[in-house]
Amino acid sequence: MKTPVLYIIIPCYNEKEVLPITSEKFLSKLNSLISEKLIDDKSRILFVNDGSKDSTWQIISDLAQKNEHFIGISQSRNRGHQNAVLAGLMEAKDVCDITISIDCDGQDDINAMDNMVKEYLKGADIVYGVRSSRKTDTFFKRFTAQSFYKLLNSLGAEVIYNHADYRLVSSKVLQHFADFKEINIFLRGMFPLVGFKSTITYYERFERIAGKSHYPLRKMLALAFDGITSLSTKPLSLIVGIGTFISSLSFIGVIWSIIQQITGKTIQGWSSTICIICFLGGIQLLSIGILGEYIGKIYMEVKQRPRYIISERTPNYKQTNTKGKQNGKTSKNK
Ligand code: UDP
Ligand code: MG
Q: Looking at the structure, do residues 19 and 35 belong to the same domain, yes or no? A: yes
| Residue 59 belongs to domain with CATH number | 3.90.550.10
Q: What is the pLDDT of residue 334?
A: 42
Average pLDDT over all residues of the chain: 89
Kindly state the helix (H) or strand (E) to which residue 40 belongs, with its residue range.
Answer: none
Q: Determine contact, residues 233/163, Cβ cutoff 8 Å.
A: no
> In this structure, is residue 313 part of a structural domain?
yes
Averaged pLDDT for residues 178-196: 93
Q: Looking at the structure, do residues 96 and 177 belong to the same domain, yes or no? A: yes
The dihedral sign for the CA sequence 224, 226, 231, 233: positive
Q: Looking at the structure, do residues 199 and 248 belong to the same domain, yes or no? A: no
Q: What is the pLDDT of residue 17?
A: 93
Q: Number of folded domains in the chain?
A: 2
> In this structure, is residue 290 part of a structural domain?
yes
Q: Looking at the structure, do residues 21 and 74 belong to the same domain, yes or no? A: yes
Q: Looking at the structure, do residues 196 and 272 belong to the same domain, yes or no? A: no
Question: What residue ranges in 108-234 does DSSP mark as E strands?
Answer: 126-131, 163-170, 198-203
Lowest mean pLDDT among 139-148, 184-193, 320-329: 320-329
> In this structure, is residue 138 part of a structural domain?
yes
Distance 207 CA to ligand 2 centre (A): 8
Residue having the nearest C-alpha atom to atom 1 of ligand 1:
81
Q: What is the pLDDT of residue 332?
A: 47
Q: Looking at the structure, do residues 78 and 130 belong to the same domain, yes or no? A: yes
Query: Cβ(108) to ligand 1 under 6 A?
Result: no
Task: Tell me the helices (H) and strands (E) count for the chain, helix number first.
Answer: 11, 7
> In this structure, is residue 1 part of a structural domain?
no
Give the position, in ligand 1's atom list, of the atom nearest the Cα of 10: 15
User: pTM for this structure?
Assistant: 0.85
Query: Cβ(11) to ligand 1 under 6 A?
Result: yes
Q: Looking at the structure, do residues 199 and 270 belong to the same domain, yes or no? A: no
> In this structure, is residue 252 part of a structural domain?
yes
Question: What residue ranges in the chain does DSSP mark as E strands?
Answer: 6-12, 44-49, 70-74, 98-101, 126-131, 163-170, 198-203
Q: Determine contact, residues 309/177, Cβ cutoff 8 Å.
A: no
> In this structure, is residue 175 part of a structural domain?
yes
Which tens digit of pLDDT belongs to each residue from 286-297? 899 899 999 999
Lowest mean pLDDT among 83-97, 176-190, 211-225: 211-225
Distance 103 CA to ligand 2 centre (A): 6
Q: Looking at the structure, do residues 283 and 317 belong to the same domain, yes or no? A: no
Better-scored residue on pLDDT, 322 or 171: 171
Q: What is the pLDDT of residue 53?
A: 95
- Answer whether residue 325 shows pLDDT above 70: no
Q: Looking at the structure, do residues 240 and 309 belong to the same domain, yes or no? A: no
Ligand sitting nearest the alpha carbon of 213 = 1
Q: Looking at the structure, do residues 163 and 282 belong to the same domain, yes or no? A: no
Distance 211 CA to ligand 2 centre (A): 9
Better-scored residue on pLDDT, 95 or 328: 95
Q: Residue 314 has what DSSP assignment?
A: -
Distance 257 CA to ligand 2 centre (A): 59
Q: Looking at the structure, do residues 226 and 294 belong to the same domain, yes or no? A: no
Q: Residue 50 has what DSSP assignment?
A: -
Q: Looking at the structure, do residues 173 and 283 belong to the same domain, yes or no? A: no
> What Rg, from alpha-carbon coordinates, does the chain have?
26
Instruction: Please report, in angstroms and rounded to a whole number, the separation of the first and last CA atoms in the chain.
Output: 8
> In this structure, is residue 130 part of a structural domain?
yes
Q: What is the pLDDT of residue 176?
A: 96
**CB count in 10 Å sphere of residue 291:** 13
Q: Which domain holds residue 88?
A: 6-231+305-333
Closest among 99, 94, 124 to 334, alpha carbons compared: 124
Q: What percentage of the chain exceeds 70 in pLDDT? A: 95
Averaged pLDDT for residues 286-310: 91
Averaged pLDDT for residues 247-267: 85
Q: How confident is the model at residue 320 (pLDDT cuts 50, 70, 90)?
A: low
- Answer whether residue 3 shows pLDDT above 80: yes
Q: Mutate which of 23, 52, 74, 81 to test ligand 1's pocket (most atoms within 8 Å of Cβ)?
A: 81
Query: Cβ(165) to ligand 1 under 6 A?
Result: no
Q: How confident is the model at residue 237 (pLDDT cuts 50, 70, 90)?
A: confident
Distances (CA, A) of 12 to 38, 56, 76, 291: 26, 7, 13, 42
> In this structure, is residue 249 part of a structural domain?
yes
Identify the three-state secondary structure at position 204.
coil
Cα distance between residue 40 and residue 44, in whole Å: 9
Q: How confident is the model at residue 330 (pLDDT cuts 50, 70, 90)?
A: very low
Q: How confident is the model at residue 147 (pLDDT cuts 50, 70, 90)?
A: confident
